[in-house]
Amino acid sequence: MNKKLFVIAATLSVAGSWSAVQAETLKFAFQGSLNALDPYSLNETFTLSSLGNVYEGLTRRASDLSIEPGLAERWEIVEPNRWRFYLRKGVKFHNGNDFNAEDVAFSVDRVHSEGSDLSTRVPADVKVEIVDDYTVDFVLSGPNPILHYEWDTFYIMDKEWTTENDAVKVTSASDTAANHAALHANGTGPFKVASHEAGVKTVFEKNDGWWDTAEHNLDTVEFTPISSDATRVAALLSGELDMVYPIPVQDIKRVNENAGTVALTGPELRTIFLGMDQMRDELLYSDVKGKNPFQDVRVRKAFYQAIDIEGIKKKVMRDLSTPSAIMISPFLFSKAGEFERYPYDPEAAKALLAEAGYADGFSVGMDCPNDRYVNDEAICQAVASMLARVGVKVDLNAQPKAKYFAKILASGGYDTSFYLLGWTPGSLDSWNVLNDLMNCRDEAGAGSPFNNGGFCDPKIDELTDQILVEIDPAKRDDLIAEAFKIAHDNVYYLPLHQQGLAWGVSDKVQLVQRADNQFKFRFVTKN
Amino acid sequence: MIGFATRRFVQAMIVMLVVALLSFTMFRFVGDPVNQMVGIETSLEEREALRERLGLNDPIPIQFYNFLSKAVRFDFGTSYQFRQPVSDLFAKRIPATLELSFTSALFALVVGVPMGIFAGLNRESPISKLFLSVSLIGISLPTFFIGILLIFLFSVTLQWLPSFGRGETVQIGSWWTTGFLTVSGLKALILPSITLGLYQMTLIMRLIRAEMLEVIRTDYIKFARARGLPDRLVNFRHALKNTLVPVVTITGLQLGSIIAFATITETVFQWPGMGLLFLQAVQNVDIPIMSAYLLLTAFMFVAINFIVDILYFLIDPRLRVGRP
């Protein structure tokens, strides 16, 4: 009994001392959980976003997503194939170790090792040469103007710490024992991981020895995953949490009407689009036999013009979307403004279908996820009913992402005729879109693995190769625009919209909502 | 006795084997785990290499053999999502689920039993009718709806109780964490316990009411009244005692299902227990966690039934007669 009383007294005194210090604590929730702390084990936005508060890359992205120096003070291209990075001096990891060139070389090796999900961050043929303790050269096999575009999420790890703790191997799911780096973190960033219980709670603490001047005024950040939408919103409305995301679009009004909370909305970088099987000579799911209607550009254009994108924006997305004419966010491509959607015109669509020989329409099976993108299933339902108006009967097959992706991607043999997908280029650059979604591929997926429809336009492939090595930004943008124009003219894809971000924020908190949906604690102030 | 126990034990083993086979077969239809483990830009070769390392390309009988031979040693492998051993994750989550289940069962008993007695004794009273209507709600409304209703009333509108989580917890020993010793921990228990226990409460209430109505009509109660025994003695000593036999059986079995099926309540309240872990595992095709959860649940039920069978054997002499 005495023991129990002692525990209660101790708990109360701890609680008492906490409030006396007046520490600023930010409490926030996200729908998913922070699984492993190893920065190379999963290439996924939330994981990288959270770990980006603890670890840092050679570069980093500012609140407007522009690239700025991170752990590297500056860099230059000394020869076309040789990039030189000058490292910041006096930076220390959370455990007190110095940051230097050895750590950079080590991190490149580790990110390339088996089990790493971020190996594409550094092209495989890049060689690292240490010039001195604070100068590193990256030697390429060919010019690459976007080498460092994804390095804001290629986090540098401490060689000594990782070696001492037997974590040189990337935490892989096939391991039998937990890897030290999956449960602990040792970065250079503005926050340290104070405690981490995967799927339950992660506590971050301010790093007093951070090299940069802190804009934030936080001492502690507490993260809880809350998967149920209603509970997440309730926790914000009741004032238990300072920030939650995402907010379901139907709850935005409620969050805004509540005193003390506001829903912060903005366009996300992700483009939602529809794709069509243009590779097989007969569709897998259709009543048209012996030929593939999607191989006819008139049919694809008819589908495009049958979709009332403004209607989807108003009714399905409740204004939280930006209709799109190209396959990349207008934020990420300077010439995006030159593209315009084909107008919504069901009559023109019917005429095009009739011209292509489908005056009575046809039926086609459509695949759709129901737990991946904002209102994904509702978008597909809306598209199905719009297509019904021009005579195309859509059999919708909406299923959870775990089953959906297993069906429509290469691992499922591209088992689809008509599908919905969302894409954010990891490098925030058009080359990734062209390379992953628009180049030719073979049946197994070699080439452009996510070109699920399998269309093949050699001209786009050629342009993609040129864009990869073109150093002059203006010329490069012209080439990109040319490639996108080919895709637009031939209607290889049906772009729909940029889905919106919706974060619920307490009035006590000021923060920056980045369009890449990364939440950085260093921009947060609380009062 | 030993023969009976052995037979039961063999039957229990067969049940476990069937559950293992069923759960193993089911995993082939829940989706592709590799897809959930890597980012979308991961190349096909890397995906294939990962499948190979996980043993997903082995012939199915070999996969099943590997799965079984590890499971009997309580080694369920490493979680695909968390990259931690499943046994560690479970050890961390079990206290939360057990505390929630225990509190819910307590709530169901403490509230359900008196309500049932009252409704059984005063069947015409308006209060009894109110109890019955309330119990109808408890049985017919889905758990997640009751949970959300409670959250919006007590957390958002009144702001009395937290809407999610366990509150502050205290570490006892090396692996048990408890919410019973802190104010926020106790507050956090209230809403989920009511949500989880409501169905059991109404079940117990209706059961006791029905049993009471039946017992009251029996001859020995009539005789007790005829002897002029006071109401209190008749109702509680003679009537209630005789209603309790089925109630105890049902409560025991229900405790098992409270623990096993706390999944929905735990999801609504983001209660960091095993049910939440399981549901997230299903969404992410985390096969090691799913298989461990299913096997543990089956194990729990088989164990409870085994113990109950043995207890019956000890209590009821009729079972002993006529058996070799």
Q: Which of A202, A231, A411 is the best mutation test for B, with the most CBs of B within 10 A? A: A231
B81, B83, B284 ranked by CB distance to A178: nearest: B83
- Residues A10-55 pLDDT 10s: 444 444 444 444 689 999 999 888 888 999 988 888 999 999 999 9
What pLDDT score was predicted for residue A486?
Answer: 96
Classify strands A363-369 and A220-225 as parallel, antiparallel or unpaired: unpaired
Q: What is the mean pLDDT of residues B281-306?
A: 84
Contact criterion met (CB < 8 Å) for A173 and B37: yes
What pLDDT score was predicted for residue A415?
Answer: 92
What pLDDT score was predicted for residue A8?
Answer: 44
A15, A36, A231 ranked by CB distance to B268: nearest: A231
Within a domain: residue B149?
A: yes
Q: What is the mean pLDDT of residues B190-213?
A: 90
What is the extent of the structural domain holding B186?
A: 91-276
What region does A135 belong to: left with phi over 0, alpha with psi -120 to 50, or beta? beta
Q: What is the mean pLDDT of residues A338-366?
A: 95
What pLDDT score was predicted for residue A17?
Answer: 41
Other CB atoms within a 10 A radius of the CB of residue A133 amount to: 13
Question: Touching check for B38 and chain A: CB below 8 Å?
Answer: yes
- Chain B residues with CB inside 8 Å of A11's CB? 168, 170, 181-182
Within a domain: residue B78?
A: no
| Average per-residue pLDDT for chain A | 90
Amino acid at residue number B134 = V
- Return the closest-CA partner of residue A285 out of A407, A179, A197: A407
Which has more pLDDT, B56 or A474?
Answer: A474
Q: Per mean pLDDT, which range of A11-20, A497-506, B28-37, B94-103 is the poorest?
A: A11-20
Question: Touching check for B86 and chain A: CB below 8 Å?
Answer: no
- β-partners of residue A447 are A441
CA angle A333, A380, A283 (to 5 degrees): 95
Instruction: Report the alpha-carbon distance of residue A105 to residue A128 in Å, rounded.
Output: 6
pLDDT at A173 over 70: no
Contact A360, A284 (CB under 8 A): no
Contact criterion met (CB < 8 Å) for A36 and B83: yes
What pLDDT score was predicted for residue A9?
Answer: 43
Question: Touching check for B50 and chain A: CB below 8 Å?
Answer: yes
A198, A224, A225 ranked by CB distance to B84: nearest: A198
Phi, psi of A76 (to 5 degrees): -150, 160
- Chain A residues with CB inside 8 Å of B44's CB? 410-411, 444-446, 449
- Residues A187-201 pLDDT 10s: 999 999 999 988 889
What pLDDT score was predicted for residue B248?
Answer: 73
Which has more pLDDT, A115 or A104?
Answer: A104
Instruction: Report the alpha-carbon distance of residue A519 to residue A498 in Å, rounded.
Output: 19
Phi, psi of A243 (to 5 degrees): -160, 135
Within a domain: residue B270?
A: yes
pLDDT at B321 over 70: no
- Chain B residues with CB inside 8 Å of A198's CB? 81-82, 84, 89
Q: Which of A28, A44, A149, A228 is the best mutation test for B, with the most CBs of B within 10 A? A: A228
Q: What is the mean pLDDT of residues A339-346?
A: 95
Q: What is the mean pLDDT of residues A305-332?
A: 93
- Residues B105-139 pLDDT 10s: 899 989 988 898 888 888 888 988 888 888 888 78
CATH number at residue B131: 1.10.3720.10
pLDDT at A140 over 70: yes
Within a domain: residue B209?
A: yes
Within a domain: residue B56?
A: no
Q: For chain A, what is the radius of gyration of the CA atoms? A: 25
Upper half-sphere CA count for residue B248 (Cβ side, 13 Å)? 9
Q: What is the mean pLDDT of residues A73-95?
A: 94
Of all residues in chain A, the one with the smallest CA distance to B29 is A403
Contact A195, A37 (CB under 8 A): no
What pLDDT score was predicted for residue A169?
Answer: 83
Question: What is the distance in angstroms between the Cα of B236 and the nearest Cα belonging to chain A?
Answer: 34
pLDDT at B306 over 70: yes
Classify strands A261-276 and A418-423 as parallel, antiparallel or unpaired: antiparallel
Residue B188, C-beta contacts closer than 8 angstroms, at least 6 positions apart: B161, B162, B165, B166, B167, B179
Contact A313, A323 (CB under 8 A): yes
B35, B83, B148 ranked by CB distance to A230: nearest: B148
Classify strands A363-369 and A393-399 as parallel, antiparallel or unpaired: parallel
Alpha-helix residue ranges (DSSP H) falling in A307-414:
309-311, 346-355, 376-389, 401-408
Q: What is the ipTM of this complex?
A: 0.81
Within a domain: residue B102?
A: yes
Contact criterion met (CB < 8 Å) for B163 and A231: yes
Q: Per mean pLDDT, which range of A348-352, A362-366, B237-241 is the poorest?
A: B237-241
Q: Measured between alpha carbons, how far is residue A419 from residues A120, A276, A291, A434 in Å? A: 26, 7, 19, 18
- Chain B residues with CB inside 8 Å of A16's CB? none
Amino acid at residue number A454 = G
Within a domain: residue B285?
A: no
Within a domain: residue B194?
A: yes
The tally of domains found in chain B comes to: 1
pLDDT at A451 over 80: yes
- Residues B20-69 pLDDT 10s: 888 877 777 777 777 777 776 677 777 787 788 777 777 878 888 887 88
Confidence of residue A2 (pLDDT cuts 50, 70, 90): very low
